[in-house]
Structure formats: structure tokens, C-alpha cells
């Protein structure tokens, strides 16, 4: 008894002492209901917790990343960091948040990154996978982010300066940070927030299990008419198991939802995508000698508008690529409107012609794919083609099943291409290869 009382006192003392290190930082005990209510630390789903607040930024250049890090440390192990409504918190330093264990971040205000390109290009976390860099990374266990606030990547300057470069160009060295990254994390949930103008991909989940996004709005747009908000994917993943995305809206100019190597057990429901490159499995099989897989994906109730692609699977072929499998992928109840290529399966990715694809067929086996109840219109960019399934000659591409497909091009035609697929696909189609 005596001993534990002492431990308790000691820990209270240390948590009371440390606020003095940070101007304006506060820790409110879970029992102080009135104060918690007064500052907006309330959520109908989650019980009150020890709640930490930090001072907001006074202006666009008032970097509070030290305060933010302090707040995260104080809220770790059972507490909550509250970022208050109508306040902006500017983050101007890279942050390693991989020490988390049972933390909530209630984001009601705005978390905004500085756009000092010189700084971020010299200070970031780098991942060799598609040469990705990030402002910060979140890792550990039981991480919940929720609220009605905004995570703002402040991307315009990045879009402007990147303009003219290509992310897949091997000579490109103009790297742009990803807005939200988890690495080595278990049980992560993100709910209710808006993710605005990421300089590059919006979410990248790495080595993460049990991650969910619900009721999130992702928006990336450029106000400079001559440049795009390029490569602002909604979701990408690498080595992720149990990945849920529900009730999410994405309006961007690249992939909406795109699991990458070694992602399994994917569940997507009520995903709306506007102006995107689609809900795209892969690409996988890119890196020479490496085995990749994507399996067990169930996606339903998707609305895909004004896109380059709708439902898409892509695996690399060519000399010097990798291998692997993509299996058990279902797209069901999907509305696709005004989209260049509503349904695409491309086993000759990236950008190689049929001669080369025949010479170096993909070594990613694609099997057990269902496209069921998919309706709407193409944009007409590909003529009457509404479904384009192109497998590599001599590759494994089987048990691909289309049913209840009602897609039409603007002139009323609807051509379905099926190249090098083993067996019937359930609907009449044209093979250009035979």
C-alpha cells in the first residue's frame, strides 16, 4: 500500500513538474469533467481521459512542433492530446512518434505543416519504396486519431516546384513528404478528420496491423491552374494486414485507394472517389528478385467519378522485375461515371508494349478476381472500351469473373477486352492477341 502510494505520488509530481518546461502546456485529469467539457475534450464514443493541451501557433511561422512532441509524450500511456477547435498548430520539424502506446489525439483544430522545402528535403524519414519521404512517422500500439479537425499538408508550393517532374522518373530527386505515415504500428484508427493538400501521398501505412479509417475526407487540389496536385494518392500500404476503409471521401488527382506489396485482408465499404486514378490493387512485382502479394480484398459500395481508372489491378512485367501473387480480390456494387478506363487489369505494367510483355511476362500470378454489379459510364477516351483486361502472355491469370456489368461509353457501345486470360470471364469479350 505504502509503496504504491509513493509511486503514484512520484508520477503525479513528475507530470506536474514537466508542464513548466512548455509554455502554455496543460494536463487536465480525467476526473475534471467541467474543464474537459469547457475545452471541447469530449467524444461520444470514447470515455474521458487525462487530457493534454498545448499552445496553438500565433502565425504561419510559429512552429509548435516541440510543444506537440511534449503533448504526445504526456498523453502517451492512456491519455489524450487535444488540438482545439479554431486553432492552428504549425509543425516545422520532423517528428519521430514511434514510441506510442495507448494514446488518443483529438484533432478539432488544424495541424499544418510548414512549406519550407529546403528544410523538409534535408530533414525527413526516407523509405526506399518508391523513394518516399515523410514529415513524421507514427508507430507503436493503440493509436486513435479522431475529431472534426484538419491535417493540412500545405502542398501548393510543393506542387508548383515539382511541376514538370515525374515521380517514377529514376532521375527525379525532388522528393515530397507524405502527410500521414504509420510504421511498425498495431491498432491504429483515424476517424472524422479532413486530410488536406498533402505534398505527395496522403496516407502511407508501413508494417502496420489492424488499421482503419472511417469518415475521413481527403482533398488535394492545386490553385495554380498550370500545375496539378500530383501523386496525392489517398491510401497506400506496404506490409499491412487488416486494413479497413469505410465511409471515406477522396477528391484528388491520383490513386484513391492503392494497397501495395504485402497487403492482406482489406475491407473497403462506402468509398467515394472523385477525379482519381481509381481503386487500384498494386502495382506489385516491381522490384527485381522480390516477392510481393496482395490478397483477400473485399471492396463494396464504391462510387468512382471523373477518374482515369475505376477498379484496377496492376502488376509489373518486363526485364528485371519481381514476382508474386494477387489473389481473392472482389469489387462489388460499384458505380463508375465519366471515367477513362472503368475496369482495368494490367499485367503488363508499367508502360511496356505487347512485344516486350510477351518476351518478359509478368511473374505475378493473378487469380480469383471478382467484378460484380458494376455500372455507369466511361468518358469515351478509350473509345468504346469500358473493360480492359490485359494479362501477360504465358503468365498466370485465371479465374477472373465478371458479372452484372453495365458500363457504357458515351456513344452507347461497350467493348470488353480480355487478353491472355485463362478460361471464361463470365461475359463475352474481345481478345486482341488471338
Ligand X SMILES: *[C@@H]1O[C@H](CO)[C@@H](O)[C@H](O)[C@H]1NC(C)=O
From the CB of 133, what's the least distance to ligand X, in Å?
Answer: 15
From the CB of 42, what's the least distance to ligand X, in Å?
Answer: 27
Which x/- pattern, by CB under 6 A, does the window 322-351 give for ligand X?
A: -xxx--x-----------------------
C-alpha span between 4 and 244 (Å, rounded): 41
C-alpha span between 400 and 340 (Å, rounded): 21
Mark whether 277 is an active-site residue.
yes
Q: Which of 396, 398, 414, 429 binds ligand X (CB under 6 A)?
A: 396
Decide whether 70 or 272 has the Cβ nearer to ligand X. Answer: 272
* 119 near ligand X (CB under 6 A): yes
DSSP conformation letters of 344-398? EEEEEETT--HHHHHHS--EEEEEEEEEEEEEEEE-STTTTEEEEEEPPTTS-EE
C-alpha span between 193 and 151 (Å, rounded): 8
C-alpha span between 215 and 367 (Å, rounded): 32
* Distance between start and end Cα atoms, the chain: 82
Q: Which of 121, 189, 212, 269 binds ligand X (CB under 6 A)?
A: 269
Q: Which of 36, 206, 211, 239 binds ligand X (CB under 6 A)?
A: 239
Grid coordinates standing for 188? Answer: 491504429
* 414 near ligand X (CB under 6 A): no
Q: Which of 32, 228, 241, 372 binds ligand X (CB under 6 A)?
A: 372
Q: Which of 73, 242, 265, 398 binds ligand X (CB under 6 A)?
A: 265
From the CB of 401, what's the least distance to ligand X, in Å?
Answer: 4
Beta strands 132-134 and 177-178, pairing class: parallel
* 226 near ligand X (CB under 6 A): yes
Q: Which of 95, 167, 227, 429 binds ligand X (CB under 6 A)?
A: 227
Decide whether 82 or 407 has the Cβ nearer to ligand X. Answer: 407
Q: Computed from CA positions of residues 427, 298, 195, 90, in that sequence, does the dihedral angle turn out positive or negative?
A: negative
C-alpha span between 370 and 376 (Å, rounded): 17
From the CB of 205, what's the least distance to ligand X, in Å?
Answer: 13
Report the site for ligand X in 136-195 (rule: CB under 6 A): 140-141, 160-161, 163, 184
From the CB of 33, what's the least distance to ligand X, in Å?
Answer: 32
* 209 near ligand X (CB under 6 A): no
Q: Computed from CA positions of residues 117, 122, 128, 134, in that sequence, does the dihedral angle turn out positive or negative?
A: negative
Q: Which of 21, 166, 172, 224 binds ligand X (CB under 6 A)?
A: 224
C-alpha span between 62 and 109 (Å, rounded): 16
Q: Which of 275, 309, 378, 409 binds ligand X (CB under 6 A)?
A: 275
Decide whether 239 or 256 has the Cβ nearer to ligand X. Answer: 239
Total site size for ligand X, rule CB under 6 A: 46
Other CB atoms within 10 A of residue 102 CB: 16
Q: Which of 155, 234, 259, 261 binds ligand X (CB under 6 A)?
A: 261
From the CB of 276, what's the least distance to ligand X, in Å?
Answer: 10
* 430 near ligand X (CB under 6 A): no
Q: Where on the phi/psi map is residue 270: left (φ > 0), alpha (ψ -120 to 50), or beta? A: left
CA geometry: angle at 170 spanning 169 and 175, to 5°? Answer: 75
CA geometry: angle at 148 spanning 145 and 153, to 5°? Answer: 75
Q: Which stretch binds ligand X (CB under 6 A): 41-49, 72-80, 193-201, 288-296?
A: 288-296
Q: Which stretch binds ligand X (CB under 6 A): 104-112, 142-150, 189-197, 270-278?
A: 270-278
SS3 174: coil
* 274 near ligand X (CB under 6 A): yes
Calculate the alpha carbon distances from 202 to 138, 162, 318 in Å. 14, 16, 29
C-alpha span between 428 and 156 (Å, rounded): 46
Q: Catalog residues that contact ligand X under the rule CB under 6 A.
A: 116, 118-119, 140-141, 160-161, 163, 184, 224, 226-227, 239, 251, 261-262, 265, 269-270, 274-275, 291-293, 296, 298, 301, 305-306, 323-325, 328, 353, 355-356, 365, 372, 375, 396, 401, 403, 406, 426-428
Catalytically active residues are 277
Amino acid at each position: 500500500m505504502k509503496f504504491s502510494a509513493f509511486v503514484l505520488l512520484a508520477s503525479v509530481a513528475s507530470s506536474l513538474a514537466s508542464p513548466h518546461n512548455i509554455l502554455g502546456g496543460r494536463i487536465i485529469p480525467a476526473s475534471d469533467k467541467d474543464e474537459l467539457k469547457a475545452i471541447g475534450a469530449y467524444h461520444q464514443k470514447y470515455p474521458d481521459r487525462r487530457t493534454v493541451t498545448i499552445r496553438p501557433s500565433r502565425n504561419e511561422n510559429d512552429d509548435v512542433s516541440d510543444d506537440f512532441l511534449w503533448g504526445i509524450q504526456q498523453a502517451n500511456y492512456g491519455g489524450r492530446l487535444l488540438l482545439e477547435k479554431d486553432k492552428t498548430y504549425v509543425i516545422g520539424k520532423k517528428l519521430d512518434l514511434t514510441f506510442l502506446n495507448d494514446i488518443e489525439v483529438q484533432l478539432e483544430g488544424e495541424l499544418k505543416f510548414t512549406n519550407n522545402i529546403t528544410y523538409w528535403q534535408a530533414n525527413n524519414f526516407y523509405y526506399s519504396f518508391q523513394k518516399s519521404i515523410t514529415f513524421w512517422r507514427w508507430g507503436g500500439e493503440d493509436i486513435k486519431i479522431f475529431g472534426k479537425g484538419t491535417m493540412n499538408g500545405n502542398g501548393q508550393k510543393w506542387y508548383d516546384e515539382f511541376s514538370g517532374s515525374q515521380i517514377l522518373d529514376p532521375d527525379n530527386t525532388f522528393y515530397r513528404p507524405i502527410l500521414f505515415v504509420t510504421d511498425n504500428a498495431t491498432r491504429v484508427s483515424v476517424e472524422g478528420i479532413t486530410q488536406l493538400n498533402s505534398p505527395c501521398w496522403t496516407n502511407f501505412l508501413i508494417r502496420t496491423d489492424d488499421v482503419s479509417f472511417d469518415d475521413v475526407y481527403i482533398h488535394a487540389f492545386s490553385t495554380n491552374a498550370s500545375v496539378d496536385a500530383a501523386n496525392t494518392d489517398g491510401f497506400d500500404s506496404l506490409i499491412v494486414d487488416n486494413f479497413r476503409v469505410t465511409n471515406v471521401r477522396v477528391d484528388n488527382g491520383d490513386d484513391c485507394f492503392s494497397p501495395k506489396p504485402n497487403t492482406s485482408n482489406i475491407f473497403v465499404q462506402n468509398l467515394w472517389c472523385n477525379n482519381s486514378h481509381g481503386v487500384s490493387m498494386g502495382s506489385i512485382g516491381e522490384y527485381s528478385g522480390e516477392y510481393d502479394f496482395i490478397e483477400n480484398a473485399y471492396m463494396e459500395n464504391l462510387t468512382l467519378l471523373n477518374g482515369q481508372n475505376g477498379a484496377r489491378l496492376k502488376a509489373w512485367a518486363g526485364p528485371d522485375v519481381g514476382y508474386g501473387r494477387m489473389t481473392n480480390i472482389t469489387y462489388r456494387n460499384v458505380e463508375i461515371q465519366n471515367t477513362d478506363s472503368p475496369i482495368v487489369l494490367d499485367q503488363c505494367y508499367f508502360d511496356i508494349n505487347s512485344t516486350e510483355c510477351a518476351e518478359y511476362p509478368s511473374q505475378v500470378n493473378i487469380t480469383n478476381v471478382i467484378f460484380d454489379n458494376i455500372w455507369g459510364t466511361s468518358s469515351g477516351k478509350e473509345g468504346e472500351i469500358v473493360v480492359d483486361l490485359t494479362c501477360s502472355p504465358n503468365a498466370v491469370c485465371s479465374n477472373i469473373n465478371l458479372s452484372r456489368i453495365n458500363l457504357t461509353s458515351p456513344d452507347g457501345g461497350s467493348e470488353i477486352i480480355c487478353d491472355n486470360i485463362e478460361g471464361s470471364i463470365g461475359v463475352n469479350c474481345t481478345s486482341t492477341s488471338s
